[in-house]
Structure 1
């Protein structure tokens, strides 16, 4: 068995310092090596510097993808902080679609050696590499979750993630992440149309988090701003602010103005998955 470990950082590899928890090189690599079955060969690719997941972005996704593709015969574990795990899960799931690779993401709410969840999550990740089922998965809290639609629903408890089922993704047009300006914008009662316009002027596209099954305020100025952005070639993809259920355009008259402006329907996509869709398609 060949195992590729990509250690990006995160709580799982932190240790106590005089200033609080901070990343420490070697912890995750040693813990992984100790758990491997006899005869397994470990290759470790360690980010330098190790990252808090709040700092992970497209350039880091590209590095992960490049490393995975350089080791076509290896099982893959990527250790990562939990705060942006959902973004990385969606990014790798969509970028690797159709490549028949199996990648296991792993992180924890408490570091290794703190009598928490880290050891169990790492054990689960290692055991999960034995399967040949392709896809990107998260090993967390005793569960193996599809990583394409992760939702971090709890900021403290060990059972922090849910998996929101996603539609089968198309093979992406792009396999890596280009330097594009994209963001997730949440429509909220009273949001100034001018603020949305200012944001969209700086962006190449955006995910719009709208209400319920697909409604938005009937603000003629805001709707004009969205229509102008679409005319200018900016892709706007809508998802629901609800965690489950997705969108049903046309179900309510309150959404008619929005959907007439050329907004894309993200269906049941999470905001993270919709953002990655814009990046790769």
Structure 2
């Protein structure tokens, strides 16, 4: 764990840098000057930083896979060519946890800390949490943060592949939920997963199970060229085990090479297929367990694995292993 001395700050937009317009709050450029002005008198930091704005600036509700790849490119460039030993990403809160998870897997092996933060209120608004989140992030980096992707919010430093957004109107909006974390760590990572390797956009979909889901719904979704389906199951990984047509649709998709993954839709749940027969039938249809991973982590992991060009069987194998602390607690 090394103290950061040469920081790269990447501003992507989000509430933290928004200004009022006729249509409401919207991302605005020129944030570095406002950031320095607001931090004066808030505390001291001796960090030197280089500032860059991702173009176009985003309301994070508009986040796409292409934006994740652009962030990855900017970060790798700053570290590999710019000599920066730490990165701070300023990001909107709507999809902050998704981006933290995606970057956790896009930047595997990067030997510097990447810390994301944002705010629930714009910089300069009365009582805004922006100055404290910014200063807290800078202070954490100056003191030293382990390599990997992290999220700092409301005084808490959280693992990027474990965090989720719980609240839409409170400063303590993010948390790491006590989901069961178990599994084997990957002994080594294939070269395709190195942070140096670019990725490609992929066709992923997330579907929560619900009473009344029909096989024709599932087939229509899978018929759009989906490369992976993340199924949010009931409880410990169960689903409608008496719906033979729906199970057949899953088996057919798996036979075509679609990666089928399962997580629990319970906020503090985890998948354990063998507890109930209803879970075992999903496993037998081709689903691979995400254990206690969050939706954000599972989606980001599938994006990175499939986007690297790995075959479906290897994606399934690596999805079931711990790559950066998303499945087990200790690293």
TM-score (structure 2 length as normaliser)? 0.79
Report the counterpart of residue 188 of structure 1 in structure 2. 210
Report the counterpart of residue 139 of structure 1 in structure 2. 152
Task: Map residues 229-268 of structure 1 onto 2, 5 A cutoff.
Answer: 229-268=253-292
Deviations 1:49-98 (A, max 9, x none): 21011121221111111111122232211001111111111111112222
Report the counterpart of residue 90 of structure 2 in structure 1. 79
Whole-angstrom CA distance in 1 between matches of 2:145 and 2:281? 47
> Does the C-alpha gap of structure 1 residues 274 and 39 become closer, same or farther in structure 2, counting only changes over 3 Å?
closer
Q: Secondary structure at the match of 2:11?
A: strand
Whole-angstrom CA distance in 2 between matches of 1:3 and 1:275? 29
Report the counterpart of residue 117 of structure 1 in structure 2. 129
Whole-angstrom CA distance in 2 between matches of 1:39 and 1:129? 11
> Does the C-alpha gap of structure 1 residues 117 and 169 become closer, same or farther in structure 2, counting only changes over 3 Å?
farther
> Does the C-alpha gap of structure 1 residues 224 and 51 become closer, same or farther in structure 2, counting only changes over 3 Å?
same
Whole-angstrom CA distance in 1 between matches of 2:212 and 2:296? 24
> Does the C-alpha gap of structure 1 residues 134 and 246 become closer, same or farther in structure 2, counting only changes over 3 Å?
same
Task: Map residues 8-47 of structure 1 onto 2, 5 A cutoff.
Answer: 8-32=12-36, 35=39, 40-47=47-54
Q: Secondary structure at the match of 2:10?
A: strand
Maintained 8 Å contact 2:262/2:290: yes
Aligned-pair distance for 1:217? 0.8
> Does the C-alpha gap of structure 1 residues 253 and 66 become closer, same or farther in structure 2, counting only changes over 3 Å?
same
How many residue pairs get aligned? The number is: 281
Flag structure 1 segments of 5+ consecutive residues without an equivalent. Answer: none
Flag structure 2 segments of 5+ consecutive residues without an equivalent. Answer: 306-331
Maintained 8 Å contact 1:180/1:204: yes
Whole-angstrom CA distance in 1 between matches of 2:218 and 2:149? 34
Aligned-residue CA RMSD (Å)? 2.0
